[in-house]
């Protein structure tokens, strides 16, 4: 590797894979390695046959699919005319970022790893499968995997004689950050053009749960959708939320208040930063390519609700002049201090703002270029579209569960996006965009369909069922909806829609109100009671769709359907399992779940 080149390519739906890729790039600089950090689809794939070593970092979406910014790259790799020895010169490493509560855990990374092997590429180290469900989060796998990467890479391609790893372990800024004098107030950071965002007005923002119900769930409808915007049932709506005003004020006070001024800071909320490229391998993100004020960054760009990662503790330890702060930060960021870090950060879901408030000496001494290393950008949030493109003309509807819960900290934990959405008022204008969802409904109106959607998981099924009703193809013999919630009077989402359609013979409806009787009843229990009907649907090559919380429900539903194949269909457990796996491969059993 005489050129010391190391491309780091990522496929990322939410941005996490990009964050990890940039972290690998930082460490690569210590070993005098250079190379682009790019989304796989931005990389010239024909260059791959000339590379000696490449690192891949990717997440998984939907039905085990690759992220949007990896799709073209993956499609090229699957070409049948590629010779089996195409990549025989390539050594590679693949790190997957996933969540084991999902059925197809790290599926995209596994597929990529196997395909590279099929093309005769050589792995530097075993496939890494990070899991968000781990107590320490994905870092529990990412940290040791990256350490192993450098061991294997330097063994395979040692540093040239006389060249030593850089001794500078301090965290440096990725970009050139400068303060500029301007009288013009900068616009908020734009949404990247490739996402094709558009503006809509809030029409209705109403609570769908009863006032006494423990959770606030909102039906939010947007109007004035541009006529050129199209979508299908199963697609998702994405938004980039804003930070709560009280959090913005707290950050600005930390960075511009008396303590910061006493430490020599001259920042103000109106301070404007220019962000330019420092290294051709590390591009400036599109939203930061125009000058931004500190106030704009605090409001629209930096995620002030994020739970900090170990990297942040290391950064703060480097800037604080206070020995007690430094000692505590170094302890938590060390390998031996992971349990302490977990108890302090991960278990109570402590936010970056709360961390900074606990280490005031570090905050007041942060050089302003490192603010862009300290804070991660707000990532878009996706919501299943609950409206029909035909039945709800020029409108888009989403169903939002407002996230609010308690930990050992006094202040409740609040979901950034759901609480921002809940605060929107009619006529508020926001920018959104639409993305293909993972659920693919059949085109044939005669195909029988089972939809299992407890809670807010019912949203995509409302889109599909209302579409079929509008088209005149809804029938109780074809459409079977299993809905679950706590109480019929508490959180029976879209009850008027479902009950009207049922009365008209357009929908078969099965409801599990888990707390309305002494014994808890869930959707999987209803499935177990309707074995004959469901077996007839499966025999007729019907489709099954499952959407909702990923904790226990998807597995319980899958097991209930497997068991009915045994009890009603006379299959063995192994045969029933094989049958459902075949349905998954054919797209006749699909799941869309979230943590």
Enter the DSSP assignment of 298: I
Query: Kindly report the CA angle at 252 between 275 and 189, in degrees rounded to 5?
Result: 35
Question: Is 62 annotated as contributing to ligand binding?
Answer: yes
Question: Is 594 annotated as contributing to ligand binding?
Answer: yes
Question: Is 98 annotated as contributing to ligand binding?
Answer: yes
Question: Is 173 annotated as contributing to ligand binding?
Answer: no
Strands 272-277 and 292-293: antiparallel
Question: Is 456 annotated as contributing to ligand binding?
Answer: yes
Question: Is 221 annotated as contributing to ligand binding?
Answer: no
Question: Is 61 annotated as contributing to ligand binding?
Answer: yes
The dihedrals phi and psi of 245, each to the nearest 5 degrees, come to -55, -35
Does residue 36 sit in helix, strand or coil? Answer: coil
Question: Is 484 annotated as contributing to ligand binding?
Answer: no
Question: Is 264 annotated as contributing to ligand binding?
Answer: no
CA distance 224 to 541: 39
Question: Is 587 annotated as contributing to ligand binding?
Answer: no
Question: Is 138 annotated as contributing to ligand binding?
Answer: no
Q: Are 70 and 41 in contact (CB under 8 A)?
A: yes
Question: Is 101 annotated as contributing to ligand binding?
Answer: yes
CA distance 69 to 41: 5
CA distance 286 to 265: 28
Question: Is 91 annotated as contributing to ligand binding?
Answer: no
Question: Is 97 annotated as contributing to ligand binding?
Answer: yes
CB atoms within 10 A of CB 71: 15
Question: Is 103 annotated as contributing to ligand binding?
Answer: yes
Cα torsion angle, 317, 320, 326, 329, sign: negative
Question: Is 132 annotated as contributing to ligand binding?
Answer: yes
Q: Which two tokens stand for residue 208?
A: 């769908």
Q: What is the DSSP string of 265-278?
A: ----TT-EEEEEES
Question: Is 99 annotated as contributing to ligand binding?
Answer: yes
Question: Is 495 annotated as contributing to ligand binding?
Answer: no
Question: Is 208 annotated as contributing to ligand binding?
Answer: no
Question: Is 102 annotated as contributing to ligand binding?
Answer: yes
Containing 260, the helix (H) or strand (E) segment is helix 258-262
Question: Is 405 annotated as contributing to ligand binding?
Answer: no
CA distance 456 to 462: 10
Question: Is 505 annotated as contributing to ligand binding?
Answer: no
Question: Is 13 annotated as contributing to ligand binding?
Answer: yes
Question: Is 383 annotated as contributing to ligand binding?
Answer: yes
Question: Is 86 annotated as contributing to ligand binding?
Answer: no
Angle of helix 553-567 relative to helix 531-539, nearest 10 degrees, comes to 80
Q: Which residues are annotated as a binding site for NADP(+)?
A: 456, 514-515, 520-524
Please enumerate, by residue number, every residue annotated as part of a binding site: 12-17, 59-62, 97-106, 132, 381-384, 415-418, 456, 514-515, 520-524, 594
Residues annotated in a binding site for FMN: 12-17, 59-62, 97-106, 132
Annotated binding site for FAD: 381-384, 415-418, 594
């Amino acid at each position: 590797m005489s050129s010391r080149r190391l491309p780091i390519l990522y496929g990322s739906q939410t941005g996490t894979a990009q964050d990890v890729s940039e972290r690998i790039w930082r460490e690569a600089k210590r070993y005098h390695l250079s190379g682009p950090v790019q989304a796989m689809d931005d990389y010239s794939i024909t260059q791959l046959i000339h590379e000696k070593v490449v690192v891949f970092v990717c997440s998984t979406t939907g039905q085990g699919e690759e992220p949007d910014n990896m799709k073209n790259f993956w499609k090229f790799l699957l070409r049948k005319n590629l010779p089996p020895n195409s990549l025989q010169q390539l050594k590679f490493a693949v790190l997957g970022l996933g969540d084991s509560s999902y059925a197809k855990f790290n599926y995209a990374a596994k597929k990529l790893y196997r395909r590279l092997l099929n093309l005769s590429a050589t792995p530097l180290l075993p496939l890494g499968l990070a899991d968000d469900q781990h107590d320490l989060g994905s870092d529990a796998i990412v940290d040791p995997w990256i350490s192993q990467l450098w061991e294997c890479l330097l063994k395979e391609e040692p540093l040239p004689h006389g060249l030593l790893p850089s001794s500078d372990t301090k965290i440096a800024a990725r970009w050139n950050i400068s303060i500029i004098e301007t009288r013009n107030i900068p616009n908020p950071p734009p949404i990247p053009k490739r996402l094709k965002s558009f503006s809509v007005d809030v029409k209705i923002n109403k609570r769908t749960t009863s006032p006494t119900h423990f959770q606030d769930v909102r039906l939010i409808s947007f109007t004035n959708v541009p006529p050129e915007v199209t979508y299908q049932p199963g697609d998702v709506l994405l938004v980039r939320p804003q930070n709560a005003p009280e959090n913005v004020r707290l950050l600005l006070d930390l960075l511009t208040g008396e303590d910061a001024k006493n430490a020599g800071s001259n920042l103000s909320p109106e301070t404007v930063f220019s962000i330019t490229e420092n290294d051709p391998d590390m591009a400036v993100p599109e939203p930061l390519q125009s000058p931004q004020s500190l106030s704009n960054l605090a409001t629209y760009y930096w995620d002030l609700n994020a739970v900090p990662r170990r990297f942040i503790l290391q950064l703060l330890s480097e800037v604080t002049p206070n020995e007690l702060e430094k000692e505590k930060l170094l302890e938590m960021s060390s390998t031996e201090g992971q349990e302490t870090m977990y108890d302090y950060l991960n278990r109570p879901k402590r936010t970056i703002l709360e961390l900074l408030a606990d280490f005031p000496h570090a905050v007041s001494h942060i050089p302003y270029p490192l603010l862009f290393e300290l804070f991660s950008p707000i990532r878009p949030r996706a919501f299943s579209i609950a409206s029909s493109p035909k039945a709800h003309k020029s409108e888009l509807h989403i169903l939002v569960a407002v996230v609010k819960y308690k930990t050992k900290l006094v202040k409740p934990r609040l979901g950034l996006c759901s609480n921002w959405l809940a605060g929107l008022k009619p006529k508020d204008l926001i920018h959104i965009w639409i993305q293909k969802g993972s659920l693919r409904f059949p085109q044939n109106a005669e195909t029988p369909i089972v939809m299992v959607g407890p809670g807010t998981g019912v949203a995509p099924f409302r889109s599909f069922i209302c579409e079929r009703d509008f088209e005149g193809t809804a029938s109780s013999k074809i459409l079977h909806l299993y809905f679950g919630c706590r109480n019929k009077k508490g959180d029976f989402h879209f009850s008027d829609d479902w009950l009207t359609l049922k009365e008209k013979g357009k929908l078969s409806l099965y409801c599990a109100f888990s707390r309305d009787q002494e014994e808890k009843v869930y959707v999987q229990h209803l499935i177990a009671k309707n074995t004959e009907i469901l077996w007839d649907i499966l025999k007729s090559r019907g489709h099954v769709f499952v959407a909702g919380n990923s904790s226990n429900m998807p597995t319980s539903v899958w097991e209930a359907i497997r068991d009915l194949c045994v009890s009603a269909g006379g299959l063995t457990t192994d045969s029933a399992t094989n049958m459902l796996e075949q349905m998954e491969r054919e797209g006749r059993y699909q799941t869309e779940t979230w943590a």
